[in-house]
């Protein structure tokens, strides 16, 4: 792959014999990634809240790929009990080659997870953190397994309100979304540092889709209109999945970050992406890690990197 050409779904190699978990795979970028992975011969576990929607997505994939190896993995990232159950089911798989942390919510009204966390931080980061932590032992069984965490252009300029992580005092839909995406970036960065320090062969990488036409922004009708209008020149969901596919199957560096390389990272083929200084701050990353362990009660068991 060269920077001028970039990475697309055409660069996804044969995945026969491999198994991928894709969260939020019933729609949008998760669906497109699951579709391509299945087409390349992988077994794909569609980790979703709604069985009906997951089964409909699997039916769509099988229309194009009759022999697709697909399974539904019940998962609600807003419920730690559901996450523990999903991790237990996934551990029964013979192998897991990659966990693709794709699912998320964007700018809803103030809502809370089952355990009472602010929904965007709770689902986008804490749920991802917990699922990843619980699956680390299983992933370690497969040499070179990958953990892909999806951030966003919105992480740039974001600030985490450390004194009000649960939005008890104030709530901004856009601000909390951006903070959750900064948390995603800090998480995959810190996870990479700790995995490498421990000598693990697991790769932690990040990605972002640029600006893609999906239903993620359903709580922001002006954004929906803008994305539909600009969809002809920006990325559709299939194109928005290219960075996810690169992170999951393509050429990557440990701790690398991948996204569209056209027009300020909003569109086009995938390649190395830029991230903010805050997203690579080891002090902030450790602070987030410690807070995540305390809030979820789930410890990945990885010592801090020196």
Catalytic residues: 177
> What burial class does residue 233 get, using C-beta atoms within 10 Å of its C-beta: 0-12 exposed, 13-18 middle, 19+ buried?
exposed
54: which 2 tokens? 């997951």
Three-state DSSP class for 239?
helix
Is residue 159 classed exposed, middle or buried when 0-12, 13-18 and 19+ CB atoms within 10 A define those classes? exposed
Residue 231: Cβ-neighbour burial (10 angstroms; 0-12, 13-18, 19+): middle
Cα–Cα distance between 176 and 187 in angstroms, integer?
Answer: 16
**Residue 95's CB: how many other CB atoms inside 10 A?**
13
Coil, helix or strand at residue 16: coil
CA 172 to chain centre: 22
7 phi, psi to nearest 5 deg: -115, 135
CA-to-CA dists, residue 198 to 130, 140, 183, angstroms: 19, 12, 22
Q: What kind and span of H or E run contains 44?
A: strand 43-48
Give the separation between CA 279 and CA 265, rounded to whole angstroms.
16
């Amino acid at each position: 792959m060269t920077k001028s050409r970039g990475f697309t779904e055409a660069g996804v190699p044969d995945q026969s014999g491999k198994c991928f978990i894709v969260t939020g795979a019933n729609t949008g970028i998760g669906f497109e990634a699951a579709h391509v992975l299945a087409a390349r011969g992988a077994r794909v576990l569609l980790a979703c809240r709604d069985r009906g929607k997951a089964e409909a997505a699997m039916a769509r994939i099988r229309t194009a790929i009759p022999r697709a190896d697909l399974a539904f993995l019940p998962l609600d990232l807003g419920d730690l009990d559901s996450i523990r159950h999903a991790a237990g089911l996934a551990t029964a798989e013979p192998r897991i080659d990659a966990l693709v942390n794709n699912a998320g919510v964007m700018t809803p009204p103030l809502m809370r997870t089952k355990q009472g966390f602010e929904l965007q931080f709770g689902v986008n980061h804490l749920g991802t953190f917990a699922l990843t932590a619980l699956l680390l032992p299983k992933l370690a069984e497969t040499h070179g397994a990958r953990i892909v965490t999806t951030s966003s252009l919105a992480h740039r300029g974001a600030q985490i309100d450390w004194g009000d992580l649960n939005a008890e005092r104030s709530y901004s839909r856009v601000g909390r979304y951006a903070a959750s995406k900064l948390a995603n970036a800090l998480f995959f960065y810190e996870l990479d540092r700790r995995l490498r320090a421990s000598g693990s062969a697991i790769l932690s990488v990040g990605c972002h889709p640029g600006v893609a036409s999906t239903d993620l922004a359903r709580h922001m009708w002006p954004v929906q209109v803008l994305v539909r209008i600009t969809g002809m020149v920006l990325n559709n969901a299939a194109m928005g999945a290219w960075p996810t596919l690169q992170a999951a199957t393509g050429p990557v560096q440990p701790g690398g970050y991948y996204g569209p390389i056209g027009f300020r990272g909003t569109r086009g083929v995938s390649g190395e992406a830029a991230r903010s200084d805050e997203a690579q701050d080891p002090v902030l990353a450790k602070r987030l890690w410690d807070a995540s362990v305390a809030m979820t009660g789930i410890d990945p068991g990885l010592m801090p990197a020196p």
